[in-house]
Amino acid sequence: MKILHSSGNYQIHFLPFTGSHDVVVTDENVAGYYPDLLGENPIVVPAGEKSKNLETYAFVSQELLKRGVTRKSRIIALGGGVIGDLTGFVAATYMRGISFVQVPTTLLAQVDSSVGGKVGIDLPEGKNLIGAFHPPTEVFIDSRFLATLPAREYRCGMAEVIKYGWIMDEALLSELQEPPTDLSSIVQRCIKHKAMVVQEDEFETLGIRASLNFGHTVGHAIEQITHYERYTHGEAIAIGMVLEAKIAERLGIAPLGLSNQMTWLFEQYGLPTQYDSTTYSQDLIEIMRRDKKSEASEITMSLVTVPGSCKLVKDVPHNVIAEVLGE
Ligand SMILES: NC(=O)c1ccc[n+]([C@@H]2O[C@H](COP(=O)([O-])OP(=O)(O)OC[C@H]3O[C@@H](n4cnc5c(N)ncnc54)[C@H](O)[C@@H]3O)[C@@H](O)[C@H]2O)c1
Ligand SMILES: [Zn+2]
């Protein structure tokens, strides 16, 4: 599959990645599972979101210098979304930009973060506050990586898979009523959806790419208020999707019962659907107003209208959000 973007295109290969002479950047877990894919002198960073920071960004850049990596070289991001975002951002800025290849090893990275060119790191003040659009030159999707994925990370990726169903693929929802037997064909289908959306709206200026944000306005606020410790991203957005469906029901945008349908499906995959905390809904709303996607503190949400379709709703009334969050 080929993805077109403003400065060229890249191939997505549904093939095993068999190793490379280029420098591989990975995390400690992936390095432990896949020692034969690391090449000669890999750069290995600690696993987890904490590596998406300025220190690790400087560390990886300096390690590339030590290895004599030049502007003509390319580097390999072997890992989940953290490694893809971090390595991609290093690649975007190292010597004013070098090529990089994405080899996503989590379900989330395969169906979402490895395609679309967004790369970046976090600041102590918030996630993804520094970043760039820097598409990879190639992506290798190999479902065999998923065999070693911890169950919680698998569920996290399934939340994004199910999201594609709600926003743009009703048939996928029907298929997912039963646990998938052919995950690789589902992964391919999700990548096709992501590819279509990012090709139409590469820089997220037309409101099309924003549709992928269903569940994320509320989900990100929940992640932030719980300091990224209590829920994985997938868990937070599963809760976010259910709550945003309730908001859509209240606004008369979606039929009553949609949020119950979502709750049922997420439960089949062991995902949480309720935000069980005493946090005040006003604090969550405050975070949503400061989200980098909000304009003039109006809250915008991508809301599902019927299963398989969504639309961008601007200026979602704060009182409706507060009502739903407060229940
Ligand atoms: N750029 C984008 O468009 C985009 C989109 C969505 C998410 N993201 C980013 O992606 C990140 C989350 O990605 P993630 O969920 O892949 O997290 P992650 O990279 O932290 O991986 C999750 C865990 O799984 C481990 N792991 C990875 N592959 C494995 C394998 N094959 N077997 C066993 N363990 C494995 C990792 O070591 C880690 O502990 C976030 O930082 C998020 O902001 C970016
Ligand atoms: Zn997401």
* pLDDT, tens only, 110-124: 999 999 999 999 998
Write out residues with Cβ below 6 Å of ligand 1: 27, 29-30, 33, 47-49, 52, 79-83, 85, 105-106, 108-109, 112-113, 116, 118, 127-128, 145, 148-149, 153, 156, 233
The arithmetic mean of pLDDT across residues 270-283, rounded, is 84
Contacts of 95 (CB under 8 A, 6+ apart): 70, 71
> Predicted confidence band at 154 (pLDDT cuts at 50, 70, 90)?
very high
The arithmetic mean of pLDDT across residues 275-288, rounded, is: 82
- pLDDT class of 295 with cuts at 50, 70, 90: confident
Q: Which pairing describes strands 23-27 and 301-306: parallel, antiparallel, or unpaired?
A: unpaired
Instruction: Tell me the average pLDDT across 193-211.
Output: 89
Query: Ligand 1 atom 20: the closest Cα is on which residue?
Result: 48
Distances (CA, A) of 2 to 12, 43, 137, 171: 6, 29, 11, 24
Atom of ligand 1 nearest to the CA of 27: 37
Phi-psi region of 57 (alpha: psi -120 to 50; beta: other; left: phi over 0): alpha
- Cα-to-centroid distance, 84 and ligand 1 (Å): 8
Tell me whether residue 49 is one of the annotated catalytic residues. no
In this predicted structure, what is the pLDDT of residue 114? Answer: 95
Which one of the listed residues 127, 216, 246, 250 is annotated catalytic?
216
* Distance between Cα 48 and ligand 1 center (Å): 7
Summarised one tens digit per residue, pLDDT across range 304-324 is 999 999 999 999 999 999 999
User: How far is 145 from 127, CA to CA, in rounded Å?
Assistant: 26
Q: Per-residue pLDDT averaged across 9-20, rounded? A: 92
The verdict on whether 318 is a catalytic residue reads no
Banded pLDDT at 7 (limits 50, 70, 90):
confident
199 alpha carbon to ligand 1 midpoint, in Å?
A: 23
Q: Which of 2, 96, 227, 292 is catalytic?
A: 96
**What average pLDDT does this structure show over 127-153?**
95
Please indicate whether residue 4 or residue 126 has the higher confidence score (pLDDT): 4
Q: Which of 49, 63, 153, 160 is catalytic?
A: 160
How far apart CA 222 and CA 151 sit, in angstroms, is: 22
Q: What span, in angstroms and rounded, lies between the C-alpha atoms of 143 and 146?
A: 6
What is the predicted pLDDT for the residue at 207? 85
- Average pLDDT over the chain reads 94
Predicted confidence (pLDDT) at residue 127 exceeds the cutoff of 90: no
The catalytic residue among 213, 223, 235, 249 is 213
Specify the pLDDT at position 16. Answer: 92
From 53, 107, 113, give the residue whose CB has the most ligand 1 atoms within 8 Å, as the site to mutate.
113
For the CA of 28, the nearest atom of ligand 1: 37
Q: What tens digit of pLDDT does each residue of 43-94 get?
A: 999 999 999 999 999 999 999 999 999 999 999 999 999 999 999 999 999 9
Q: What ligand 1 atom has the least distance to the C-alpha of 51?
A: 20
pLDDT for the residue numbered 19:
86
Is the pLDDT reported for residue 291 higher than 80?
A: no
Nearest to 37 by CA among 23, 12, 20: 20
